[in-house]
Amino acid sequence: MDLTLVPLFISIRILDIIDILLVALLFYQIYMLIRGTVAINIFLGIFTLYIFWLVVKALNMELLSSILGQIIGVGVIALIIVFQQEIRRFLLLLGTRYFSKNRFSIEKMLMMKGDKYDTPVNIEAIVRACRNMAETKIGALIVVTQKSNLQLYAETGDIINAETSSRLIENIFFKNSPLHDGAMIIKNNLIYAVRCILPLTEKTNLSATYGLRHRAALGISEITDALVIVVSEETGKISFIFEGVITENISVVKLREILEENLISKS
């Protein structure tokens, strides 16, 4: 009696391993984008529906399987509508954090030989202004651009193109100033725009102590590579926000170190 040997192991190619790793990376990025937001509950609901459809299909329940199949078939359009903000954020993340940081970027390749790079930001002026505003409890929201120029958000405010100085920063955020509401965008060594409107974060698990300044700072840092500084009007504490992560109650010495690390060492 002949016995046919059944292979005990499934053959796995290197491309299969790469495929699995890429899918894992994609799902990880999706999770990082929607964690803490209402969108994660919608995503879990859709995923549960998809698993249920697979079970129904495996059990050969043709009527229910065909209904669920039709729903899932047109679900791509629904997903684009429901997750339009997350999709936009994901595409911005790809552009700003993975491609624009490349030293061989298209912008640099197209630069002429005599062109100069961006003027360094006046870090000392920003730090001095934040120290003085923290001592007097003047609220402030300062956004320092890197690769993303934030032109879309700058146009929501007033373009001033003024030289960066601590006195000017303090005067703009003084509570009786007509320009103190909104965010200040610093580009190169210029106060490029003031009174700017920034997108608010969609995270729902934030501390109740966070006001609109902190939520706007988190929102712009989640979709761009900007460095964001917040001075609390209630407590006078300084916070630094980058890539959706907030570091609270930092000293002016720590603030200077962070700005130098991001604006000088990476230039």
- For the chain, give every domain's residue range: 14-110, 123-263
Q: Which fold has domain 123-263?
A: YojJ-like (1 (3.40.1700)
Residue 100 has pLDDT above 60, yes or no: no
pLDDT tens-digit map of 24-72 = 888 787 777 666 666 667 777 777 888 888 888 888 888 888 888 777 7
For range 248-266, the mean pLDDT: 86
pLDDT tens by residue, 190-216: 999 999 999 888 777 777 778 889 999
More confident residue, 141 or 97: 141
What's the confidence (pLDDT) of residue 86? 64
What is the per-residue pLDDT across 148-186, written as a single tens digit (0 to 9) for each? 778 888 989 999 999 999 999 999 999 888 888 899 999
Task: Identify the pLDDT of residue 27.
Answer: 79
Residue with tokens 């100033």: 177
